[in-house]
Structure formats: structure tokens, C-alpha cells
Chains A and B, each alone.
Chain A
């Protein structure tokens, strides 16, 4: 159990941590290009207050806004030694790894943590897109296996947030092998009878999508997230046609029946709490009272009329109305 010993207080760390762009108090929205004061951006959970665009989140921020009171414990994961293939493109993979590790203070593109979500113990694995595009190599695959094993050990649900360009080419065939390995992690959850929820974030593509990410008991996506197998450019080159509007976006996948719901980041924590509660506390008597906090929109959240598949519960009196699309 010594891999469980790395206890951190991420909230405290987040407070003393230097912002990513210390000289710049303004963040530009990559979608509407509006400049937003960094505190305002943080308060809105990195959702642009102007246009609603969901910005990509660093892994530690994702964890901090998810868990109750922002408190969680990360587990130590094995790392790959040097460079299994001695891979070299324009740069040595070994050097690339070293530089990225130093820059991000992380060993690889995944973090695994456990803590409470609405009072229920959960295990969470989050991809770090900033670490070589969140690409999945041996260490990431191993992280997913360890996350599932921890969840089974704790009899806890597992929630995974992929954010990845796909397999890590620099690990060649060994990265392809993470597809079956991560699927085994999902199977271990299934065999233990535990919920496995995937929250697809921008972007989730390639071998990551084509393995554990598409096998969630429940599949949630953040608005506007690019989710797909083949890259848009590859498809365009193959079919020599323009792609349809909104292609491979979360909403497009929802319309094609690939995922369960698209959930606004402000509602994500509440949605996850409700799902986990329904799947874990199967009788109302099991329910532990939940203390609301953290989420700026948690209080008085109202459901826009007719908007289902957004993770909002349907009020009992009209729950027969399955697919209202009034607007």
C-alpha cells in the first residue's frame, strides 16, 4: 500500500502555486477571443463568461474543482524508465520526456486521485493534455489499470476524464498495447460490479477514444469537446469533402447516439454526484446527506425548459416526457 502514501493537500497547493502565466492577469478566450480577468475565469471554472467556451483544464485544477472541498489524495504511479524504443524524430523522446517532466512537474500524462464526491468515495483519473498532448503510453495505461484496481479495492466508482490526442507514437507498438490494457481496467470495474463513468473532455481522439474512453457505463461530454477516432484532417484528405458543421463535437456525438449527455462544466459536479449516488446508494435509506459547496452554479440551478440530455434530472411529474426538444 506504499503507493497510496503520497498525500497532498491540493487546495493549499493550488493557493501557493504560481499561475501558469504569472505576467498575464488576463486570459484570452480561444473561441471568442475576449480578454477575461484571470480571477473571473477561475471563478467560472475556465468557462468563458462571454461565450461559454469550455477551456482545457490542467489536471490538478480539474481534481480541485471536482472533489468535495477540493480535497483529494493522489496515488503514486510508476513511470517509464528513459525511452523503451530509443525513439528519435526531430528530437529524442528521452529528451522530450525530461523537458516535459521538468516543465510540468509531472511524471506523465495522467493523475489518479481518490477522495469524496458528494460524500461518496470515488477514484478519479485525469489526463494532463499539456503533457505531450495527453498521449497514452505505457505509464498512462498503467495509471488506468492502477486507478481501476484502487477503485475495486475501495469498492468505489471510477471516473475518468480523458483529454488526449491518442496513442503516444514515441512508444510505438507499446502505446498501441495500452488499448487492450486500458480495456482490461474497464473489465475489472465491470466484474466488480462498480460504476465506471467517462467524462470526455476536449480533445479525446485516436486510440484513447477507441479503448477505455468509449466503454463507460455512462458517457458524459463537455460542451464543444472534439471527440472522435480519426483526425478531421485525415478524414478530409480521404474523402476530399468538407466535413459537416459541428463534426466530432460533443453535441454531434450526442445526436448520433454515441454518448449519454453533454453537461456544462458548472453542472458537471452535481451531475456526477447524482449519478454516483443513484448507482451506489441503491435504496434511498443508504443516502448520506450531501453538503453543497464549491460549484458556483450549484445553488438554485434550474433546468432550462425542454433541455434534456444535459445531465439535468427530469422532474418526476413529467418524467414520461422522454425527449422534449421544445426549443
Chain B
């Protein structure tokens, strides 16, 4: 059963109809084939129209779509010989953060990302992509490996946020996030970060203090979830739609604010309709973003990264 979003009702109806027709007639039946291609053309038009003008709240839903490709899908699609590395060497291995060594378009790289999981078991295993301190400390350790061997770092951001729990606080959640940002900003190797789904607050920036920050067309990136923002500022979670609007969390908004560097276009009807294409496009964009940084030396990479973040928002200061 294909899960669908509320604004996709007519799209899903069309998709079901096409599927039924395909099932019904054999390929030889020209009448059915003609009907199918007619409906497909209509579906394509409808998808293009709908997805070209998604409201922020709709983007939030698309970014969280359960069938949207997740971190491990991107890794298996883009990284050859991926070799996961585990643990923070102090407390545990946090599987909300997946990372390791691998070859990306011919280059040895360190990949670090948040994985939400795709079914009940894997969601629990990955804690829905919400990392604890040990996850961020694992990320720091992997960044240190990259630094030691001069490997570029590729990060894939997809998290509702850092995990809010007693143990996480006791083990220094805030320090772990702060230190990840610190380590990332000090790296003398290229860092390219991509928000592939949900860029949730501190948990996201811990992996996104990068030389170049990319964002998928229908991904979101925000200081707080629309639900959290609504419950604080409107004192009611029901205003999440308004909060999504106000927070300016879409890729287009963030590019306009100069917080991200590039938008990676998604296939018609978003990444969950054609994950392979979405992943390939993302790979192309990461490769292109990485290229100019490969020519720079360590101090320049670090200096450029810091200048980039220092410049963010400065247009609003007087």
C-alpha cells in the first residue's frame, strides 16, 4: 500500500487507476495501452503542477514521507565499498548516525549521516534518526579520521532533531552537538553537507557546518519543528501549518536567505516517486560542489568555511 499525503488525493487516484488498467489488459490491447498513456500524461501534468507550488506545510510532509529515500539509500546508491565504522569509543554505538569509509565517484571519503529507518524495526534501531550524545561523538571521531587521512567529508542530514531524553542530557547532549560543530568548522579537509529530508535544528547543524551546503528541492531545514514552534508561539500545535509558513524552512527560502548554497532538483512528484533519480542527481550535485574544494589546501578550506558562516545573516545587520 502506497502511503500518500492528504494533498495528493487526486494524484493517488490516477496512479491507482493506471495501475489497475495495466493489470487488466495485456500489452497487446491497444485500446488499454492508449488509455494508459493518456492517463500517464495527465498524471505527469498533475504531479508537475502540484509539486511546483507546494506550500511549506506540504513540503514538511513530503520531507518526512516514509518512502522518501533515506541516508542508507543514498549511501548504497552513491558510495562504493561502503565500510561502516561504529562507536564513540566511550559509551555506545548510536545507530541514529551512520558513517564510515567508502569511495564516492572515485574518491575515498568519510560519509556521515542520520538514518531514520524505513520500517518499524529499523526505525526503532535507528531511533527515528534522533541521535544521542554518543552519535555526535561518533560523528566527531569520523571527522577526525577524515582529517588524519586527508579525506573529504560528505554528510547527509535527515533528522527530526537530537533525541530529548534523560540519558542524553546526562551524557552531555548539548556539549556533543557543540563539539561536533566545533570539530566540523575546524576541519582542514573539504566538507559537503546535504539536507536530504528533514534538517531538524541543532541535530542537523551538528552535521552541516560544511564548506558547501546543499538541499534537496523538497527537503526542509529549520531551527525548530513547525509543531514545536506552534506550541510555543501560538500555544497550540494546531498552528503547525502557520509556523511552517513563518519559519521559512523550504529550500527556495533558504537559498534566498543565503543559508544554503544550492538546491538539488528532485524528480517529478518528489524523491519518493523515483528514488534512483533523486539519489543520482544528489550525487552529481555533491560531486560538483566538492570539486572546487579539492584544489584548496587545509588552512584555506577551514578559513573559507568559517568566512561562509560568519557572512550568513550579515545582510540584516546595521
Contact = CB atoms under 8 A, between A and B. Distances in A.
A78 B318 contact: yes
Contact of A180 (B163, B179, B185): B185
B172 A214 contact: yes
Contacts of B222: 172-173, 176
A248 to B, nearest CB: 6
Contacts of A275: none
A172 B247 contact: yes
Given A173-B221, A209-B174, A187 B316 contact: no
Contacts of B239: 89
B317 A207 contact: no
A258 interface: yes
A303 interface: no
B169 A215 contact: no
B166 A239 contact: yes
A238 B163 CA distance: 9
Contacts of B179: 214-215
User: Which residue among A180, A187, A230, A239 has the maximum number of chain B CB atoms within 10 Å of its CB?
Assistant: A180
Contacts of B175: 210, 214-215, 258
B174 A177 contact: no
Interface stretch (A3-11, A30-38, A137-145): A137-145
Contacts of A167: 201, 223-224
Q: Interface size class for chain B?
A: 35 or more
A169 B246 CA distance: 10
Nearest to B203: A210
Interface in A223-262: 228-231, 234-235, 238-239, 241, 243-244, 247-248, 256-258
B178 A181 contact: no
B234 A89 contact: yes
Nearest to B302: A187
Contacts of A90: 233-234
A247 B205 CA distance: 26
Interface in B275-318: 306, 309-310, 312-314, 316-318
B178 A183 contact: yes
A169 B233 contact: yes
B171 interface: yes
Nearest to A191: B186
Contacts of B318: 78-81
A243 B229 CA distance: 23
B313 A177 contact: yes
B181 A211 contact: yes
Interface string B225-255: 0001100111000010011001111000110
Interface string A129-151: 00000000011011001000000
B34 interface: no
A153 to B, nearest CB: 16
A293 interface: no
Interface residues of A, number: 58
Given A184-B185, A213-B174, A173 B166 contact: no
Contacts of B162: 210, 229-230
A165 to B, nearest CB: 9
B90 to A, nearest CB: 12
Given A90-B234, A215-B179, A238-B164, A173 B174 contact: no
A173 B182 contact: no
B182 A183 contact: yes
Given A183-B182, A187-B185, A214-B174, A172 B223 contact: yes
B12 interface: no
User: Which residue among B173, B221, B223, B224 has the maximum number of chain A CB atoms within 10 Å of its CB?
Assistant: B223
Given A173-B249, A229-B169, A247-B169, A78 B221 contact: no
B116 to A, nearest CB: 16
Contacts of B233: 89-90, 169-170
B202 A177 contact: no
Interface string A151-185: 00000000000000001011111111111110110
A306 interface: no
A98 interface: no
Contacts of B6: none
B106 interface: no
Contact of A142 (B163, B228, B259, B317): B317
A184 B304 CA distance: 12
A39 interface: no
Given A138-B314, A206-B202, 12 more contacts: A78-B317, A84-B313, A84-B316, A90-B233, A174-B257, A176-B204, A177-B205, A187-B306, A210-B202, A211-B177, A230-B162, A234-B228
Interface of A: 78-81, 84-85, 87-90, 138-139, 141-142, 145, 167, 169-181, 183-184, 186-187, 206-207, 209-215, 228-231, 234-235, 238-239, 241, 243-244, 247-248, 256-258
25 contacts: A78-B318, A81-B316, A81-B318, A84-B257, A84-B316, A90-B234, A173-B221, A173-B222, A173-B257, A173-B259, A176-B202, A176-B205, A177-B312, A180-B181, A180-B309, A183-B181, A210-B173, A211-B177, A211-B181, A213-B178, A229-B164, A231-B164, A235-B165, A239-B165, A247-B166
Listed from nearest, the 8 A-B pairs whose CB atoms lie closest are A230-B164, A209-B174, A89-B233, A210-B177, A229-B174, A176-B223, A214-B175, A78-B317
